[in-house]
A = this chain, B = another copy of it.
Amino acid sequence: MENNDLQKILQSLADGKISVSDAVLKIKNKPFEDLGYAKPDFHRKARQGASEVIYGAGKTPGQIIGISQALINNGQKNILITKLDKEKAGIIGKEIQLDYKETAKIGIIGSMPKEKIGKIVVATGGTSDIPVAEEAAVTAEMLGNNVVRLYDVGVAGIHRLLSNTDEIMTARVIIAIAGMEGALASVIGGLADCPVIAVPTSVGYGASFGGIAALLSMLNSCASGVSVVNIDNGFGAGYQASMINRMKGL
């Protein structure tokens, strides 16, 4: 609750427009619904002006439907359900109109925004990183951003990346996604002038340890301007990239 709101409520009280108990209610009013198993947050929508997000893994289809309907009832038009496997999507889709992006494992309630702005480049080291990249790309598109996909530009064939320098130089934000040795983030970080969000993936075998090798590599990037999100967290990267791409000028 911000100062202005508080001041307004208190002024109404001082003016006798509302009662003490009303004021208590308003100040303490919960900006979420309590479903028992979940407490969906209705304030975030006000802040973002875009889609609300449900983390789909570890929730039953019934819980996802319940949360979705609470959000819809509260005026939410677009909902993103991440880490949603195909089977759950099928069950949910019988209750609620759902657009399921299989590679991205994202379910969409509502519709893609028509106007997209700016430019987010989503680059991957290899073909196997594409599912994570799609999670990032679909998230960013759903939040109203133009996305350029640059897949399989890993550092072992550096010319594939270098021949796309134009895309990299004109991006407002870049999401660099790679498994194995995760070196893509550093090379892009060295080429680009904009913020780079690195996403390690669990792609690899042996000493890749399910993405730890790429994660450590990215955290230790010798390039400035690179930050990192969790292994396989395409959504998180897409979300922050959207925040940055949509920054207003000073």
Chain A positions within 8 Å of B, measured between CB atoms, are: 2-3, 6-7, 10-11, 13-14, 16, 19-20, 23-24, 27-28, 30-32, 35-39, 41, 43-44, 47-48, 53, 55, 57-59, 63, 67, 83, 117-118, 125-128, 130, 149, 151-160, 162-163, 165-166, 169, 172, 179-183, 185-187, 189-191, 193-195, 197, 200, 202-233, 235-237, 239-240, 243-250
Contact = CB atoms under 8 A, between A and B. Distances in A.
Contacts of A233: 205-206
B182 A181 contact: yes
20 contacts: A7-B24, A10-B10, A14-B19, A28-B163, A39-B151, A53-B224, A118-B250, A158-B162, A181-B182, A181-B217, A181-B221, A205-B231, A205-B233, A207-B216, A213-B213, A219-B231, A220-B230, A225-B239, A225-B243, A228-B228
A20 B13 CA distance: 9
A159 B31 contact: yes
A154 B222 contact: yes
Contacts of A220: 179-182, 204, 206-208, 213-214, 230
Nearest to A133: B37
A38 to B, nearest CB: 5
